[in-house]
Structure 1
Amino acid sequence: MRISYLHGGSIPSLFANGVHVMRMCDAFAAAGHDITLYSMPGPDPAEDPYTYYGVSNRFPIRLVAAPGHTPNGYWQRADTIRRMVARGPRPDIVYGRDPYALSVLADLAPFVYEVHQLRKDLVPVGTERKLLGKPGLARVVAITHALAGDLRKKYEDLGTLPILVAPDCADPPGPTATTRAPQLPGRPDVPRVGYVGHLYDGRGIGLVLDLADRFPGLDFHLVGGTAEDRARWEKACRASHVYFHGHRPPSALPAYYGLFDVVLAPYETKVYTWGRLGETGRWASPMKVFEYMSHGLPMIASDLPVLREVLQNGVNCLLRPPEDPEAWAEALGELVADGALRRRLGDEARRQVLERYTWRRRADDVLADIGLPDRTGTGEAGLPK
């Protein structure tokens, strides 16, 4: 199947959406599809995106900048992408998270719209509603059941939307996960507690630092975050056994996972994106959680309804209320003291990822049973030939 993937963000970048998009394109390519990614250019044009993200397949990436980061600029960029795609060969499916580009390309082929939050930023108002009403809509992919329910409620006047719930995923650790391990600072003979991800508001970094104050006998390592966020939290940190490692390329992260004894996913009830531009706590499906699971790491995570779609207390992790540091301290102490519990939780988490939550399986699921245009010329579903 020939797929045009439309991404409204940049490649490469510091942000999780770039990781998600590259993993999906890599999985489509691994499944035998002819995939071309249309993205914004990243800040460093010399950075090789395939190496940066650690993907296995070198699918084509077309970088298309917007003439200004404004709605009008995004619409102009969408027109540019349409001209590029229309020059052919014509795609069988247009797939993406960019509602501007999807709106402009919606008549070229059946399209799949992937959604990670309710969009309130699109201009003009009603852009998403109009997109969901187009006849070429083949599927809406939502990352959680909570988001799917809110989409149905918001657009109930459009009838039954073709929504598929597909959580985020992780790749099983490859051979690079046990090589080129970084030399971590700290004490070599004490357990290590890890956190991997951004340091934005709502990610529970204050809770991590609180746990560090309670457990001077453990070392805490935080991997990720912009330079600005890292400096802010380093200033707030009082403990000498907390180490901030800053942003690392996604391809480098597997080597860190193997060095941690326990990992944390301390999401608060409100989880903000970069610059507090959006709040996604109600609908989140964090890739970090699945990566922890894929490496068989014992995890303590926030007991939130959306995370309970995947996580089960005492089965694949320990769940604790994000507002209760005493409960988190109790859980951390229990995990550090009980090696059998750590192994049981980690083994079951890994098993569930391999069975249910790989990127390759997700790539197959989101395209399953989608009809292709009739190349004989009769057309399908009213799509123009």
Structure 2
Amino acid sequence: MRIAYMHGGSIPSFFANGVHVMRMCDAFTEAGHDVTLYSMPGSYTDQDPYDYYGVRHRFPIRLVPCPDYTPAGYWKRAEDVRELVVRGPLPDLVYGRDPYALAAVCDLVPFVYELHQLRRDVAPASTEEDLLGSHLLARAVVITQALARDLAEKHKSLGALPILVAPDCADLPEPGATAAPPRLPGRQDVPRVGYVGHLYDGRGIGLVLDLADRFPGLDFHLVGGTEEDRTRWAQACRSPHVYFHGHRPPSELPGYYARFDIVLAPYESKVYTWGRLDETGRWASPMKVFEYMAHGLPMIASDLPVLREVLQDRVNCLLRPPDDPAGWGEALAELVADGSLRRSLGEEGRRQVLERYTWDRRAEAVLAGLGLPGTAGTA
């Protein structure tokens, strides 16, 4: 099946949405589909995007710039995308997270609209409802049950929507295929506590630094974040055994995971995106949680309703309230002292990813039953 994937961001970039999009296109290609990704050009790095993201396949990427980051600019770019699509051959399915580009091509072929939040920034405001009410909408894919409920409630005037919940995912490391990073700074004979992800507000970085103050016998490594955020948190850090590594290409992250003994997912109840442009904590399905699990790492995570859709206390992680530093300290002390618990949590997390949360399984699930060429359930 020919799939045109519509991405409203840039490739490559340091944003998580680029990782998600590249992993999905890679998984669709692995399943035998002919995928073309329509994206904005990236300015973050000139590294080859396939190497930067560490994907298996070199599916075509068509870079379509946006004249300016306003609704008028997005609509102009969407028109340019449509021109490329109609030149053919037409795809069998359009898939994506970009409501502007989807709206520009939604009259051509069936389409799948994927959402990771309720969009409040699309203009005109009726754009999303028009997409969800289209007779060519094949499916709306969301990442959490919480988002499915809120989406159905917001658009209840449309009646029952074809919503599928498909959480974020991770790739399991291939034995022997991951190059370790350069030797990490710090002590070589103490446990390493890792955090991977952005350093935006709501990500719990203050809690990580509090834990570092409480545990001088451990080294803490934070991988990710813009230079501005990294500088801000480094200035607030009082402990000499905290190391900020900055953003790394997604393809390099497995090497860091291999060096960590315990990992943290200290999300707050309100999780903000870059520049505090939006707040997505109610619907979050953090990719890093699944990557931690895929690498068999014992994790302490925030006890939030949306994370409980995947995480279970003392089964695949330890859950603690995000506003309880003492509770997080007790959990960290328990994991440091109990090797058997570390192993059981890590092994169960990895097993669950293998059975439920790989990108290949997700790609199969979001297309299953659509009745299109190359999908399960085709008539």
State whether TM-score is above 0.5.
Answer: yes
Decide whether aligned partners of structure 1 residues 244 and 176 sit closer, same or farther in structure 2, where only a CA change above 3 A counts. Answer: farther
Cα separation, 1, equivalents of 2:176 and 2:17: 23
Cα separation, 2, equivalents of 1:58 and 1:109: 24
Decide whether aligned partners of structure 1 residues 177 and 254 sit closer, same or farther in structure 2, where only a CA change above 3 A counts. Answer: farther
TM-score by length of 2: 0.97
Provide the secondary structure at the position in 2 that maps to 1:75.
helix
Shift of 1:127: 1.1
Q: Which residue of 2 aligns with 1:273?
A: 273
Provide the secondary structure at the position in 2 that maps to 1:160.
coil
8 Å CA contact 2:39–2:61 kept in 1: the answer is: yes
8 Å CA contact 1:267–1:322 kept in 2: the answer is: yes
Cα separation, 1, equivalents of 2:122 and 2:260: 41
1:346 aligns to 2:322 (yes or no): no
Q: Which residue of 1 aligns with 2:66?
A: 66
1:21 aligns to 2:24 (yes or no): no
Identity %, equivalent residues: 75
Residue identity opposite 2:356 in structure 1 = R
RMSD: 1.1
Provide the secondary structure at the position in 2 that maps to 1:39.
strand
Q: Which residue of 2 aligns with 1:262?
A: 262
TM-score by length of 1: 0.96
Q: Which residue of 2 aligns with 1:319?
A: 319
Shift of 1:125: 1.5
Residue identity opposite 2:299 in structure 1 = M
Please, which runs of 5 or more residues in structure 2 have no aligned partner? 374-379
Residue identity opposite 1:61 in structure 2 = I
8 Å CA contact 1:176–1:254 kept in 2: the answer is: no
Q: Which residue of 1 aligns with 2:208?
A: 208
Cα separation, 2, equivalents of 1:315 and 1:197: 23
Shift of 1:182: 2.4
Residue identity opposite 2:360 in structure 1 = R
Residue identity opposite 1:292 in structure 2 = Y
Please, which runs of 5 or more residues in structure 1 have no aligned partner? 374-385
Q: Which residue of 1 aligns with 2:161?
A: 161
Q: Which residue of 1 aligns with 2:332?
A: 332
8 Å CA contact 1:182–1:256 kept in 2: the answer is: no
Cα separation, 1, equivalents of 2:296 and 2:176: 16
Q: How many residues align?
A: 374
Cα separation, 1, equivalents of 2:249 and 2:9: 17
Shift of 1:45: 6.7
Q: Which residue of 1 aligns with 2:377?
A: none
Shift of 1:39: 0.2
Q: Which residue of 1 aligns with 2:114?
A: 114
Residue identity opposite 1:250 in structure 2 = P
Q: Which residue of 2 aligns with 1:292?
A: 292
Matches within 5 A, 1:9-88: 9-44=9-44, 46-88=46-88
Provide the secondary structure at the position in 1 that maps to 2:198.
coil
Cα separation, 1, equivalents of 2:178 and 2:156: 49
Cα separation, 2, equivalents of 1:263 and 1:83: 46
Provide the secondary structure at the position in 1 that maps to 2:361.
helix
Cα-to-partner distance string for 1:312-356 (whole Å, 9 max, x where unaligned): 000000000000000000000000000000000000000000000
Cα-to-partner distance string for 1:285-306 (whole Å, 9 max, x where unaligned): 0000000000000000000000
8 Å CA contact 1:270–1:282 kept in 2: the answer is: yes
